[in-house]
Amino acid sequence: MTNVFFEGAEKAKPAPGVIEAIKEAERIIICPSNPILSIAPILSISAIRKALETSEAPIVGVSPIVGGRAIKGPADRIMASMGFEVSPYGVAKFYGNLLKHLVIDEVDLEHEKSIQKIGVRVTVTNTLMKSVGDAISLARVVMEAE
């Protein structure tokens, strides 16, 4: 099993205004990016993670895994090497208690109930943004998720 470490994270400080923005947020969105290489470095900064964990804003994620594969990049391979299921369920497990709601693609409908069982609400929709219309539609779904 592989693990990823972010050297210096224990000393890192959030940029000015980040904690305040989290505290004042009405909604926090975790975009469909690589959970381990793109989002985990941010979450490894303890002040940011604590601010997110104590935020009253709903934290809504969009799964970057669709049909057992990453849409782009190595997220699927890295998740598998770290022992996470390569699925929206694996994404939900990775984020743990941070997520309140996860938006997953229609092809992953089979994962809806397992994600709900770990206390995360689920919305199933088209998450592939092949056009501006698709992107607008997904943005609306994410903004309505609670």
**Pairwise CA distance, residues 99 & 93, whole Å:** 9
- Tell me: pLDDT of 43 over 80: yes
The one-letter amino acid at 43: L
Residue 5 confidence class, pLDDT cut points 50, 70, 90: confident
Return the C-alpha torsion angle 6, 10, 14, 20, nearest 10.
120
| DSSP H or E run through 54 | helix 46-54
Residue 7 confidence class, pLDDT cut points 50, 70, 90: confident
| Helix (H/G/I), strand (E/B), else coil: 64 | coil
- Tell me: pLDDT of 10 over 80: yes
**Pairwise CA distance, residues 27 & 91, whole Å:** 19
pLDDT in tens, 85-117: 999 999 999 999 999 999 999 999 999 999 999
The pLDDT of residue 1 is 60
Mean pLDDT of 42-71: 95
Domains annotated on the chain, with CATH: 21-144 (3.40.50.10680)
